[in-house]
Structure 1
């Protein structure tokens, strides 16, 4: 969230951006860029209260040209907002499946109010953040599945198949996310799954393993390219290199050999 707020502040050239996650219908402001005071940090905003609460209720962006005189919102947060010198402010919800997950704000302290461009930039940031949350949710779901899998008998076919699918999907997410911290977390999970399947003296590159993991899920070269954000020709090159290292004549044999060597679950 902090990265998106910094990017928005730069694009709009505004004095302040801030936001936070929503839990049980209440927004908590946790991220601030350009704040002069600490009044907004840690502020809890229930649904229906203030500008952020209105956005939570409506699930729609809102622009206030002059906060101090606005009649469309409640004003219980005036002390915190006005102490920051905020004049015009935009609030945009981050919504997933009809549920608000966060709210992003941008604000100016001068007389020139924010306009349609601010809403456009903020909405794009909210969409990117929603995708980041989707990835985080998938990681958390896979973590729970992995924990449940630990309790299943060793060699159980269902557990082995779930392990393989999880490994392929996590590598897919790691290859496509733009968040370095999330990518590192996903790679760490992949390493944990790999450790459970044994080791090998054969060394595949990250991308060769990414491609082979998708092939193991039954993906074609075109499907693999789409999922990993690569060109089909690049996928072919990685697959060819992996096949040579694994002494495999076919893609199917490459997957089988990789599993035998402990390079794939």
Structure 2
């Protein structure tokens, strides 16, 4: 059975949600009245502004900024923060977008790149409608907002990579199923770190599909009753099923080793298991793990 679980994962909507969150953090941390942002589109390094907060006009909405042009294009080309105190007269940048900037009344502005694996994925802007210098504290706060978004994108990329690589084996190869179980454990560990509810739900749906492929058959054939484990109990068992120790499971799940041990004891009690491995086997028979 060939199945691609990544087909239903949308990128544009989640990317814009990431930008909105980053802009909110930037404005809250810097106090800047205006913030806007865009993602770099595939192809010739073009940035398109899609999210604005605190704007008075729609002059910047949908503006396409080419790499090297204007302040944002310079930021994309150099992959480092850039800022000017008075945009319209600055000699540090080119002026292809002066009309849109003037329409919004922007004077002082900074642009911070969002860089993932040495690739600029987007730019966050913060601006004033007065020609006032932007201090190091403001620039530092904007950088922190960009770093937060970078971490979000790293986790999202990891999730999509796992989804794209996860396939239900067509045969009964032990090696193929071991890969599925490794992917299942990684997906379970990653899901709680995903802020996007749609992507998180997609990860959990894939986990359910993977565990249900053989689990439902075992449950029906062997008369194993369904056991209700909590999400965290299932997360811990999924890690244990890959051979992880309590310490390794704790690191993957962002929990304390003592907490992992407590979840494992609770899951084993519900499954009627005396050892970790008995718990994993019982969970597979109950359709909770692949």
Q: State TM-score, norm by structure 1.
A: 0.93
Q: Which residue of 1 aligns with 2:267?
A: 242
1:195 to 196, 200, 212: 212
- Cα separation, 1, equivalents of 2:47 and 2:206: 30
Residue 153 of structure 1 corresponds to 170
Paired residue for 1:128? 148
Structure 2 distance, partners of 1:7, 1:171, is 28
**Higher deviation after alignment, 226-235 or 188-197:** 188-197
- CA 1:78/1:136 → structure 2, altered by over 3 Å: closer, same or farther? same
Q: Evaluate the alpha carbon distance shift between residue 234 and residue 93 of structure 1 in structure 2; reply closer, same or farther with a 3 A threshold.
A: same
Cα distance, 1:198 vs structure 2? 3.0
Structure 2 CA distance, aligned partners of 1:41 and 1:157? 53
> 99, 104, 108: which one pairs with 2:124?
104
Quote the residue 2:187 is aligned against: 170
Q: Which has the higher contact order (CA 8 A, sep 6+)?
A: 2
Deviates more, 1:196-205 or 1:165-174: 196-205
The equivalent of 1:40 in structure 2 is 60
Contact 2:46–2:65 under 8 Å retained in 1: yes
Q: CA deviation at 1:181?
A: 4.4
**What does the per-residue CA deviation read over 1:94-113, in whole Å, with 9 as the maximum and x for residues that have no partner?**
11121111111111113433
Structure-1 residue corresponding to 2:40: 22
Consecutive unaligned residues of structure 1, counting only runs of 5 or more, are none
2:289 is matched with which residue? 264
- Output the CA distance in 1 between the equivalents of 2:172 and 2:87: 63
Aligned-pair CA distance for 1:187: 2.3
> Which residue of structure 2 lines up, in the alignment, with residue 217 of structure 1?
242
CA RMSD of aligned residues (A): 1.7
TM-score, length-normalised on structure 2? 0.85
Structure 2 unmatched runs, 5+:
1-18, 217-224
Cα deviation, residue 178, structure 1:
4.1
Q: Distance in 2 between matches of 1:37 and 1:164?
A: 52
1:85 maps to 2:102: no
Equivalence for 2:8: none
| Contact 1:175-1:210 at 8 Å conserved across structures | no
Secondary structure of 2:88's match?
Answer: helix
